[in-house]
Amino acid sequence: MDDSVHSRTRAQVAPGTQTLNFTLNGEPRTLEVAPNAVLLDVLREQLGLGGTKKGCDHGQCGACTVHVEGQAMNACLRLAVMCEGQHVTTVEGLARDGELHPVQQHFLECDAYQCGYCTPGQMMSATALLNDERVGTDDASVREAMSGNICRCGAYKNIVEAIQKSRESLSYDATRKEGAA
């Protein structure tokens, strides 16, 4: 089987499109996608959500990072049809009721970008790691967990600062909610 995958015969044109049902930024969506359509391209081209960026298109830069079932993934290496029945969140889904997510707010306040192209992917990785108890809270752990997001402008120092400040405000919010409950 493996040898034939390498074969030089041209593939047949895939038969038609497939129906994809999934939840995107909290909203149920149904759309027709080609079997070989990649999630990143469906988000940008078919759904007009340009926040998720195409950098390398090979899982090497992290600009396309989205959440699938709450976990950070490279949208460039995932077929859209593989998201059937799943929850997908893009950078457009971070803000709630017109209010920026604390991570967005702190990226702004800490000047955690220069050209901004990698920023949506950085923020998606940042929000995922802040929700992941398996990741340590010190700067070194944050840098390691964020290493799949490349910033060519080199804003790394401010990105780590923005994440750590977000952690403080998120835990402050959590404490406040517990107090209110």
**Per-residue x/- mask for other proteins, residues 66 to 105, rule CB under 8 A?**
-----xxxx-xxxx-xx-----------------------
Paired residues of 99 in beta bridges: 96
Pairing of strands 87-89, 18-24: parallel
By CB under 8 A, residue 136 contacts other proteins: no
**Per-residue x/- mask for other proteins, residues 139 to 168, rule CB under 8 A?**
----xxxxxxx-------------------
By CB under 8 A, residue 57 contacts other proteins: yes
- Could you identify the residue written with the tokens 């497939």? 18
For other proteins, give the closer residue by CB, 24 or 40: 40
Residue of 38, 43, 18, 34 lying closest to 80 (CA atoms):
38
> What are the b/e assignments for 17-47, b being 16+ CB within 10 Å?
ebebebebbeeeeebebbeebbbbbbbbeeb
Q: List residues near other proteins by CB under 8 A.
A: 1-15, 18, 34-36, 38, 57-59, 62, 65, 71-74, 76-79, 81-82, 125, 128-129, 134, 143-149
